[in-house]
Structure 1
């Protein structure tokens, strides 16, 4: 598809209504990193800036994929999810960008949009690489926020919006959802890579072995879904601010910690993790490896601009998946 991104002249009414008819837009920068929504920094003539989220087909690089209806981590994008999750994180005492306005009536653009506080562009990931000592304080504060999330429990697993509306119901064990998800990713990735096709039966058997060790449990807490140091901004006062949280769900905390361990590496222990079930954690670790093969291979088939990065990510995880068997 031919993608056309937001232009300054499309934002006149939005700026005038939200900031006053005297306000003028002086800058519009599309920020990199997003694959499901457009993220823009708007500069105003009073020298302030705000962030604009745009949910539209033209901003979403992901092609559709089959998924189980009770998998809370599929289709995790959209203004409705953003609004529900923003409220849930705020209630749990987690620092997120202040929401200025959310519009789903298309009165400004032919898309759902949200205006947010601009907390700056410093990602925790960059700070950890540049100055590990300076990253210690926001890492510790992020760990405190995660403990608040991971001790905020819901009656069922599922997307926060669905649980809040009373539409989520517990139909099967969470580990079975993850097994189905992992095997679906294996099928799709095997169709794109012959090494995975050849190892399909051994990988599937390994997934089932891991599943067999997991004891039943029905305790579901708030999890971000894919939290890495690139999903945390650090303010000038060293506050960690969580972003990209449309995938927020009530689920097993081991799903979160499998991702945190992978993304934070040696800094993981600075996050003060809650107690975890090692068997559940091991299953979820391997399922996420398969996810990080299938997803990157699928988006690499599109016009995503950094295709090679996705292919390299898939290759890294193919090596991990095969090494485990």
Structure 2
């Protein structure tokens, strides 16, 4: 999409807001929140000063919709967007006692808005990322509660792997193992990034070989645990009682916990130790494969997003550049 995107207005969202919270409240303001690349996230403000959040899944809200947004539910890393993925993830986490924003309305009818949409509670305590930047010591208690939530998720194991909506519905994913799925994704990421950056192109053969060698060292595993898949401190809100609240949950899946922990290590940095101390025993062979594959994903994905009209372009370039350097460093250190 090359033209200017149409943001939803108060008039657009009023029917949805009334369906979720009743006609007695008057919607007075609508604000699209920053950061969303797959769905629109709007704060709804009412005349009694209460607020709620609307999630909207539509092509105008999805910056990945230039072809990369095509979704195969049997592919664990396919486009993690849509109301069915959201509600399946929400219900699974709620069953486990893991806090997410309370669901007020899930609407697939198109009667209130010409798109799938949901309305959830507005958790106003800021993000864990902001709390850690302000003062890490008080935030440690929230980290410990987050570790407890991850422990509850890990305790829910299945033999199958893949997105929660698929597996909980009795489906099976493509591929014979998580490691194989990660390998194939990494090889695709190398090829895509090589077409956009000469440095990856120059290291393409060496990266391919390294990914294949790392995969061959991974031993089979017959169980998988529940993971968020993209759990950075910006995807954790803090409620009024100081409890962590997980958001952007559409990618929730059953997978190797090493994939989650590679991302946690990357995003939480020096604060990761609190999460690791309550974590499972991790397989070093998987960690080596997943660390390189994760870096390659965080090069190819942002570069792909920059092919379109994603607005925060410098931020996305910085992510791609940082992870490109890290991927090449992992390759050099292996030789």
Tell whether the 8 Å contact from 1:234 to 1:240 is kept in structure 2 after alignment.
Answer: yes
Q: Give the superposition deviation at 1:19.
A: 2.8
Local SS of the residue matching 1:113:
strand
Deviations 1:53-76 (A, max 9, x none): 000000000132389874312111
* Contact 1:68-1:181 within 8 A present in 2 as well: no
Shift, 1:177, TM fit: 0.8
User: Using the alignment, how far apart are the partners of 1:297 and 1:232 within structure 2?
Assistant: 25
Aligned length, in residue pairs? 325
Alignment of 1:52-71 (within 5 A): 52-62=54-64, 63-65=66-68, 70-71=74-75
RMSD value, Cα: 1.5
- Which secondary structure state, in structure 1, belongs to the residue aligned with residue 91 of structure 2? helix
Q: What whole-Å deviation, never above 9, does each CA across 1:94-151 have from its counterpart, x for those lacking one?
A: 1111100100010111110001011115000011011101111110000000011111
1:192 match: secondary structure: coil
1:170 positional shift: 6.9
The residue aligned with 2:28 is 26
Q: CA deviation at 1:322?
A: 1.3
Alignment partners' CA distance in 2, 1:171 and 1:64: 22
* Partner Cα separation in structure 2 for residue 68 and residue 51 of structure 1: 28
Contact 2:196 2:303 in 1 (8 A): yes
Q: TM-score, normalized by length of structure 1?
A: 0.96
Task: Check if 1:175 corresponds to 2:173.
Answer: no
Deviates more, 1:23-32 or 1:65-74: 65-74
Q: Check the 8 A contact 1:79/1:114 in 2, yes or no.
A: yes
Shift of 1:290: 0.3
Secondary structure, aligned partner of 1:324: helix
Deviates more, 1:172-181 or 1:8-17: 8-17
- Over 6 Å off, 4+ runs: 66-69
Question: Which of the residues 196, 199, 202 maps onto 2:203?
Answer: 199
**Residue deviations 1:247-284, cap 9 Å, x none?**
00011111101100101111111112221111111111
How far apart are 1:20 and its partner, in Å? Answer: 3.0
Q: Is the 8 A contact 1:55 1:112 kept in 2?
A: yes
TM-score computed with the length of structure 2 as normaliser: 0.93
Which runs of 5 or more residues in structure 1 are unaligned? none
Q: Which residue of the partner structure matches residue 101 of structure 2?
A: 97
CA deviation string 1:2-22 (max 9, x = no partner): 310110012332333333333
